[in-house]
Structure 1
Amino acid sequence: MPKYRRYNWPHLLSEFEKSELTQVEFCKQHNVNPKYFSIKLSERKKAQAKQAFATVVVQPHKEPTQPQPLDKLTIEIGQCKIHCPAAMSIPNLVALVKSLT
């Protein structure tokens, strides 16, 4: 019965990737079963592919369906802030802005 061998698979697979040998040639030189080597190499590539991508769930930005009514209006000029009711008439608002400038 053949002896069971333990291999340092990460090291062995990285050595294979550095070499320019085919899988069969590499396995012959290192006394490794080519079929088992191929399985281990496939597992490593799948694991690397999983680490390369991440699943991201994107939530669409929801705009409000109806604009919210304004209850007040704030006018800022320099360090001065004036809070006015939203129901203020346009002529009064224009007069206020003109008086501030």
Structure 2
Amino acid sequence: MSRAYRTREQWRALIAEFEQSALSQKDFCEPHGINPAYFSQRRLELQREAEDNDTGFALAVPQSATSQQTLQLRVGRTELMLPLSVSPRWVAQLVKELSA
């Protein structure tokens, strides 16, 4: 079996898919053609990388113009999608309330 190259984003998507599945790591990896030990290693590396990069700020990513006009806020594994029409003050108040 040849090894498929996956970007960091592809690994993050696979790991998120695994975490939302009810499958064991072995059962998840098999149909994806991934060695479970390697999957575990990549998962740990990306978790450590996320922890090291945690500055206490949320990443806000506006979606592309071709997609729905939304603002995506991500903190760790939590993701919130908001319409761009939402008031910046409302977003600031939400962040303040959530951080309390």
Which range, TM-score by smaller chain?
0.3 to 0.5
State the TM-score, normalized to the length of structure 2.
0.45
State the TM-score, normalized to the length of structure 1.
0.45
Q: Which has the higher strand share?
A: 2
Q: Which has the larger radius of gyration?
A: 1
